[in-house]
Amino acid sequence: MLVINTRPAPDADAFSDAIRAAGATVILSPVMKIDFRDGAAPVAPGEALVFTSANGVRAFARANADRGLSVFAVGAATAEEARRAGFTDVQAAQGDVESLADLISQTKGATAVLHLAGTDRAGDLIAALEAQGVAARRLVLYDAVPEAEMSAAARAALTENAADCAVGLFSPRSAALFFAQAGRAGLEGRLSAATLLAFSDAVAAAALPDRWGRVKIARARTLGAMAALIRA
């Protein structure tokens, strides 16, 4: 199987490793690139940090050297990135904004949080927290900039061998950006022979599942679950 890896650097590396470990061939074709903003990221006294992506962790780590703050992460991968960055007080939710808001609101002492985020986000975490009585504010530290074109290798694979191609998509926005790339390349019709590997039900829904030859949805929001789809 050929697996088109749509993730931006540096997250693409871990998925590429998972693809190879599952016995498939990697084709890199990111749908976006991450541009970190320069500037400080001040934290108010008593605030905990909230990360809904690994890039949020990386952006904050560039802007602020304090690693003694409490951290809430949207899921296991983001929590692991926070630990790699040097944070030790890290709690992880189940991979979505709803479970993250519940985790924060149910944690004793979590009365104010700072959400470190990009310009494009899934769900409204601030509203969800405020509805549960938690004071929350957001600081945008990076931009996820769309890549206009699919890579030449991905175009060739879908053109010549779509039946053996799978496309890994990790967010609803990634799904929309991939379809935009496919449309510009004139390859939307080739997806009817390809396989969609979706990180979640929400991603599968955004990826227009009726346009694919096969749709596989990860059982959990982890790279291991995505690799299991490839092995299957």
Q: Is the CATH code 3.40.50.10090 the one for domain 2-31+148-231?
A: yes
| pTM of the shown model | 0.87
Residue 231: CB partners within 8 Å, gap ≥ 6?
Answer: 22, 23
The rounded distance, in Å, linking the Cα atoms of 158 and 89 is 44
The answer to whether residues 111 and 46 touch, using CB atoms and an 8 Å cutoff, is yes
pLDDT (tens digit, 9 = 90+) per residue, 99-158?
999 999 999 888 899 999 998 876 789 999 999 999 999 999 999 999 999 999 999 999
Q: State yes or no: pLDDT of 95 exceeds 90.
A: no
pLDDT (tens digit, 9 = 90+) per residue, 49-90?
999 999 999 999 999 999 999 999 999 989 999 999 999 999
List, in sequence order, every residue forming a beta bridge with 50; answer none if it has no partner: 72, 115
Q: Is the CATH code 3.40.50.10090 the one for domain 34-145?
A: yes
How high is the mean pLDDT of the chain? 95
pLDDT (tens digit, 9 = 90+) per residue, 146-198?
999 999 999 999 999 999 999 999 999 999 999 999 999 999 999 999 999 99
Tell me whether strands 90-92 and 135-146 are parallel, antiparallel or unpaired: unpaired
Q: Where in the chain is the domain with CATH 3.40.50.10090?
A: 2-31+148-231, 34-145
List, in sequence order, every residue forming a beta bridge with 138; answer none if it has no partner: 115
Residue 225: CB partners within 8 Å, gap ≥ 6?
Answer: 218, 219
The answer to whether residues 203 and 220 touch, using CB atoms and an 8 Å cutoff, is no
